[in-house]
């Protein structure tokens, strides 16, 4: 692991597990495929966006791509214009996680996804464990957060894999003060179900 997480922007990390690779090299993420995932029902918290906007979003985030790489060409190669390992037809983009972070004090985990056909094989746990490994190298991290509405699966999963604590706000009742944190959101034009910008 790099001595500074900010080095990940210039020196991507790779993890391997059998025929699978996790890489923080954002240039390897196929924009069209990711946008197709965003359009799917499983990605209920997002929707597709123009490719230029998605590319900029990825470049401004710490991204973890999960790839099926039976020949291990991705982990063994250096990507250059002459040697684009992802162009190899044996490599398949199969999962993703994105962190919005200042690389120092704050990290927000979002867009965690593994293809349905590969779920149940421990790949999601491994992908999130790679994220957690990076989090643990951030000496000044104040908080890492995530949001989920999948109470049955995601809450226990993130409690176990990332040692996350559920932050619940109990609203004022009978004149007593609210207790705990409230995670709130304001939906804007980029959120699913909000109509088009006038």
Annotated domain spans of the chain: 8-75+90-139
User: Residue 92: which of 37, 29, 14 has the closest Cα?
Assistant: 29
Q: Which string of DSSP letters, residue by residue, matches 17-48?
A: ETTEEEE--GGGS-HHHHHHHHHSTT-TT---
Report the CATH architecture of 8-75+90-139. Answer: 3-Layer(aba) Sandwich (3.40)
- Using CA atoms, how far residue 180 sits from 98, 106, 147, 168, 177, in Å, is 27, 20, 16, 6, 10
pLDDT digits (tens, 9 = 90+) for 159-197: 899 988 877 766 677 877 766 655 655 555 456 666 665
Torsional sign, CA 7, 78, 86, 129 = negative
Q: Which string of DSSP letters, residue by residue, matches 87-136?
A: GSTT-EEEEEEEEEE-SSSEEEEEEEEE-GGGTTSSHHHHHHHHHHHHHT
pLDDT digits (tens, 9 = 90+) for 74-107: 766 544 333 344 455 688 999 999 999 999 889 9
Share of the chain above pLDDT 70, in %: 77
Residue with token string 């944190």: 181
Q: What are phi and psi of 155, to 5 degrees?
A: -60, -50
**Which residues fall within 8 angstroms of residue 191, CB to CB, at 6 or more apart?**
47
* pTM of the complete model: 0.81
């Amino acid at each position: 692991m790099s001595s500074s997480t900010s080095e990940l922007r210039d020196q991507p990390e790779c993890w391997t597990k059998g025929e699978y690779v996790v890489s923080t090299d954002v240039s390897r993420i196929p924009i069209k495929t990711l946008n197709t995932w965003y359009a799917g029902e499983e990605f209920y918290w997002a929707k597709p966006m123009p490719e230029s906007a998605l590319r900029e979003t990825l470049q401004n985030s710490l991204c973890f791509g999960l790839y099926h790489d039976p020949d291990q060409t991705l982990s063994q190669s250096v990507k250059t214009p002459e040697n684009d390992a992802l162009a190899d037809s044996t490599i398949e983009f199969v999962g993703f996680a994105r962190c919005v972070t200042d690389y120092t004090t704050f990290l927000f985990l979002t867009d965690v996804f593994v293809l349905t056909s590969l779920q149940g094989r421990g790949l999601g746990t491994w992908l999130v464990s790679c994220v957690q490994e990076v989090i643990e190298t951030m000496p000044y991290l104040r908080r890492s957060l995530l949001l989920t509405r999948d109470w049955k699966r995601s809450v226990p999963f993130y409690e176990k894999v990332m040692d996350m604590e559920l932050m619940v706000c109990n609203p004022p009742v009978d004149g007593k003060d609210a207790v705990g944190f409230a995670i709130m959101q304001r939906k804007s034009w980029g959120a699913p179900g909000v109509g088009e910008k006038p």
